[in-house]
Structures are given as structure tokens and as C-alpha cells.
Amino acid sequence: MREGSLEAPTRHPLDWKSDAFYDKDELNKELERVFDICHGCRRCVSLCQSFPTLFDLVDESETMEVDGVDKKDYWKVVDHCYLCDLCYLTKCPYVPPHEWNLDFPHLMLRAKAVRHKDKKPGFRDTMLSSTDTVGKLAGIPIVVNVVNALNKNSTVRNIMDSQLGISKDAKLPAYHSRTLKKRYTQNVVQRITPGKNTTGKVAIFTTCYGNFNEPGLGEDLIKVLNHNSIEVKLLNADQCCGMPKLELGDLKAVEKQKEVNIPLMKAAINEGYDILALVPSCVLMFKQELPLMFPDDTDVTLVQKAIFDPFEYLMLRHKDTLLNTDFKNSLGTVSYHVACHQRVQRIGNKTRDLLKLIQGTEVKLIERCSGHDGTYAVKTEFRAASEKIARPVVNQIKRHEADHYGSDCPVAAQHLGKVLDNGSQPEHPISLLCKAYGI
């Protein structure tokens, strides 16, 4: 039996439509097998709260082994997994092709799917994962002002905490009636220059967050693309990428959203457009999760190859000497948090690489989880754990004493700003790029 593996990790397709996938006895057997391997290794103890929870359960059991843990307590481990994927891609030595075939995140996803099929989620979890619906309702003119005011009211937040389980300490995003889609009309570039791996035409998947909560980030992305003579349009009639429903284990809802988004993206690709999305989790959904859920769908594969992280795309343009590097302003020192769902895209630190091209700019990298992770940090029962995970990142930001700090994941950045609690505001790297360009 090999101790670890030097081979590149591979991923098996998710067999989520089979009856065996939802067999509770088989699920428990696999949970016990994997938990026993994790107990013997303990390399992932610092990544998230799932592993300390598991190890405490083992250490406090009568046998001090996994067989002494009540299987009902397995769910305590499952609930703390927010599918960041870092254990799989950065720590675990037993992932496939190793013979132990350990895929902790997708085992947790399977458990969530089994629970979802057996018991539908409550109001809070349904609401938090229904990002399109909430965004459209909260963004109605006049209503939007009421929603934003209530989300800042301490009395209302205390009620939300006690009655709904939405933490009073979490920063809830603001909503906008003038969404990104309402603000923008397509531009046409007179001369489109394709690169080796890019077309020079971009269709932006706005994401729920980018459309309803921080449309200014999308506007900054468009400015940067236009400044680089890249034609831009927005995808319309698209839906949520599916990541919130995936984290809930609602795989059928993910499929419904995929059936709307993939044809729209395919049509744009056939018109010569590449696809970009600002939120790393959304990009990862199309690069990894949907291809693993639908391995035989050629349209999903087409989108997988044509969707990019913005800085990945810009650095591909730079590789072909097509990036505008006429920067007007230095950024000084940037404390930059690398988002988990960007790290696991296996594209390298493209944001860092681009920011380093700016004269007089130093980038200090932070490669640890922020602890926000979708809706995890918003839930009352997980708030303390999310802040605990964030503190090492916040401590690094403090030590850097940088001119700017931020992350490619806007919700991670807002969470870090909340935990930092010094009156400062995070800045998205795409907005920093606007400053460097002077646009």
C-alpha cells in the first residue's frame, strides 16, 4: 500500500442519478471508511471545521476510533463542509488515482444530497440558496430601500438571528434596483483581435451577486475589457450558476439551472464569444461541478472549455502580447487573498501575476480560506466557526499594513472586512486594475 501519491489528482464523475448514490447504508459505510482514513492522517485539521469536528468525535468516543462514533454524529462533520475543495486539491495524499480513492468534498456532497432527498430544507436554507428569486424581489424599486434598511437594523437582525438562524453579526449584501443588466448596453469594438486561446469577444455571466448586489464590480470589469479593446455583451435570461443549490444537496435544482444556462452560453460561444464570470464559485461550477455531474453532455464540455476567470483571460491575452500594460498609477502594496474556488480551478495565481505587472506594485499573497464559503458564515450556528477560520487571514492583512486588500471572491472580501472591523473596505482586484489604468 502506497503512502500518498505523486500523481496528479483525478476526479470521478458524480453518479448522482443512480439508486446506489442515495442508499443510506452504503453512504454510512463509505463515510466510515473515509473518516477512518482521515482519522489516521489528520493532515487537513487546519482547513475547515469538518476535520476538527471529526477528530473530536473520535477522540471523545469510547474506542477512540471511528467505530466508536455514533453514525448520527456523522452529520456534524457533513454540516461543516462547504465544498471549498481545498482538502482534495491541496492536502489529501489519497485522492484518486491512489487506490484508497478518497474524495472528501464529493462524499460530503453525496451526504447532503441524500439528506435533501429524505428531508426538504427549511425556509432559511431555501431562501439563502434561491439567489435569483431573492435578488429580483429585494431589488424592486422602493422595496429595495426597505430591505437594505432592515438588513442594517439591529432589532430586525436580532429577530432574524433568533427566529431564522441568520447571524446578526454577518454582513448581509446590499441590493440594487438598477442591476448590472439594467445599467449596461452592448458595445461593439471596431477591430477584434483574437489570441491563441481567446477570441477577443466576451459574454459576461453576471452572476446573481454581480447583478443584484455589487453591479459596480461588473461595470469595472467591462471598463477593463473595453480598455483592452475586447468586445463585451452580457448574457440575458440566465439563472444562478447552481452553486448555492449544490451546497444544499439539491442536485435536481442544479440540473434545472444548467438546462437554462448551458444553451445560452452555447449560443454565445457559437457566435464567437468567450464566457467570463467575476465570482470564482460560478466559474468553478461550469469548469468542474457540472462536467462531473453531466460527463456525457457535449454542450457542458463546450462551456467548460470556453469559460474563464477574468484574470486568467487577461493573462492569456498578455501571453499573446494583447494586454494593454500602459498603467498610469501604482497600487503600492496589495494584500491579496486567493479565493478557494479560484485556487481549485488549477489556473495558477493569475490575479497576482497581472497586478505585479503594474509598476511600483507589490502583491502579498494569502492562501488560506476566508471562512465565508457561500452561506456558511451567514448562518447563526456556523458564525463563530467562520470567524475562527477568517482570523489567520485577517491577521496577515494586519501584518501587511498594505495600501489595499481584497479578494477575487467579493463575499469573502466582505467577510474579511467585517472580521477586520477597522473601518476599512476591501477592494476587488478588478477595481484595483481600473485604478492602475486610470479609468
In 10 A of CB 129, how many CB atoms?
23
What is the SS3 string spanning the chain?
A: CCCCCCCCCCCCCCCCCCCHHHCHHHHHHHHHHHHHHHHHHCCCCCCCCHHHHHHHHHHCCCCCCHHHCCHHHHHHHHHCCCCCCHHHHHHCCCCCCCCCCCCHHHHHHHHHHHHHHHCCCCHHHHHHHCHHHHHHHHCCCCHHHHHHHHHHCHHHHHHHHHHHCECCCCCCCCCCCCCHHHHCCCCCCCCCCCCCCCCCEEEECCCHHHHHHCHHHHHHHHHHHHHCCCEEEECCCCCCCCHHHHHHCCHHHHHHHHHHHHHHHHHHHHCCCEEECCCHHHHHHHHHHHHHHCCCCHHHHHHHHHEECHHHHHHHHHHCCCCCCCCCCCCEEEEEECCHHHHCCCCCCHHHHHHCCCCCEEEEEECCCCCCCCCHHHEHHHHHHHHHHHHHHHHHHHHHCCCEEEECCHHHHHHHHHHHCCCCCCCCHHHHHHHHHCC
What is the structure's pLDDT at 5?
A: 65
Whose grid coordinates read 447552481? 242
The amino acid sitting at 324 is N
**Tens-place pLDDT, residues 23-74:** 999 999 999 999 999 999 998 988 899 999 999 999 999 899 999 999 999 9
Of the candidates 388, 355, 357, the residue with the CA atom closest to the CA atom of residue 371 = 388
- Grid cell 455531474 is found at 293
- What are 161-174's pLDDT values in tens digits? 999 999 999 999 99
pLDDT (tens digit, 0 to 9) for every residue of the chain, 439 residues total?
556 567 788 899 999 999 999 999 999 999 999 999 999 999 898 889 999 999 999 999 989 999 999 999 999 999 999 999 989 988 898 999 988 999 999 999 999 999 999 988 899 999 889 888 899 998 888 889 999 999 999 999 999 999 999 999 999 999 999 999 999 877 777 678 999 999 999 999 999 999 999 999 999 999 999 999 999 999 989 999 999 999 999 999 999 999 999 999 999 999 999 999 999 999 999 999 999 999 999 999 999 999 999 999 999 999 999 999 999 999 999 999 999 999 999 999 999 999 999 999 999 999 999 999 888 999 999 999 999 999 999 999 999 999 999 999 999 999 999 999 898 999 999 999 999 999 9
* pLDDT at position 3: 61
Q: Which CATH architecture has domain 327-437?
A: 3-Layer(aba) Sandwich (3.40)
Q: Name the pTM for this structure.
A: 0.92
